[in-house]
Amino acid sequence: MKAVIPAAGYGTRLLPATKSQPKEMLPVVDKPAIQYVIEEAVASGINDILVITGRGKRAIEDHFDRSFELESSLKDSEKHDYFEQIRSIADLADIHYIRQKELNGLGHAIYTAKKYVGSEPFVILLGDIIVNNGNPCTKSLIDLFNSNKAPVVGVERVSMEKVDRYGIVDAKKINETTYKIKGLIEKPSPNESPSNLAIFGRYVLTPDIFDCIEHTTPGKNGEIQLTDALNLYLKKTDLYAYEVSGDRYDIGSKIDWLKANIEIALKREDLAEELRQYLALLNLEPKVINDKVTVKEQK
């Protein structure tokens, strides 16, 4: 199965940090965000990946390419651990690239992968969404696809106050993690939302979706929304939702990016203890005495 990773957006919510670098390349601890996504695809058994980029996204291609000068320098300096880490990045998977020349929505971005996908089912992983739950959530979606012989959309529960930020599914519960989708709506108000199950950036679809995208009417800002195309898709096939557990971070959000750095670092043996000590200090209340900052315990 092939994977498609859309990564062409501007990342405007993270400006000015994304003025000259892709949001997908923002570091989360010591790796760019998109590397976590590609590692998830690889851990799910996928080694053939298409990244959809845009203008100003060349850094993504460079990151997953060989860097002979750096490798040589690390090898000569006998920094073997760093050498192995850098060398392994280029060997993660067969990674291909195509540009989305006009940013006309997620549906349009996915459509650019039509020739690459061909006639087989494929996975979509959004390039700025990290899932950190110990197990590759994409593998769970693939397993459900193979079990039901039907497409699958990853969902998570959000508060009703936040449903207007997401595509939301109207679905019938089948078991603890699986739902059969009856309909989808893009960014509904809390009053009109059929549920609080939000689509969060992982899909297993078939090539029939491309015909649906072709017949999808542009929505807000003239963009072709994948959620709208999935409603047409639903007329052709059963569509399931898989509720993913674990931590999910939208790296396009400043607060999620900060949370990702802290929470992922806390799971690292080499960083956790010192970071916990520092975070413990943040529970102390600053107090200025003679122009010097000291701390005292909060009551």
Quick: pLDDT tens for 186-245.
889 999 999 999 998 999 999 999 999 999 988 777 889 899 999 999 999 999 999 988
pTM: 0.89
CATH of the domain at 283: 3.90.550.10
Quick: pLDDT tens for 213-225.
999 988 777 889 8
Cα 29 from Cα 139, distance rounded (Å): 24
Q: Domain range spanning residue 292?
A: 2-297
| Predicted local distance difference test score (pLDDT) of residue 232 | 93
CB-based contact 14:96 (threshold 8 Å):
no
Cα 205 from Cα 222, distance rounded (Å): 24
Residue 218: asked if its preceding bond is cis (omega within 30°), the reply is no
Residue 293 has pLDDT above 70, yes or no: no
Q: How many domains does the chain have?
A: 1
Cα 288 from Cα 4, distance rounded (Å): 53
DSSP string, 21-48: S-GGGSEETTEEHHHHHHHHHHHTT--E
Cα 88 from Cα 73, distance rounded (Å): 16
CA–centroid distance for 35 within its chain: 10
Quick: pLDDT tens for 81-126.
888 888 899 899 999 999 988 888 899 999 999 999 999 999 999 9
Residue 290 has pLDDT above 70, yes or no: no
Cα 167 from Cα 177, distance rounded (Å): 18
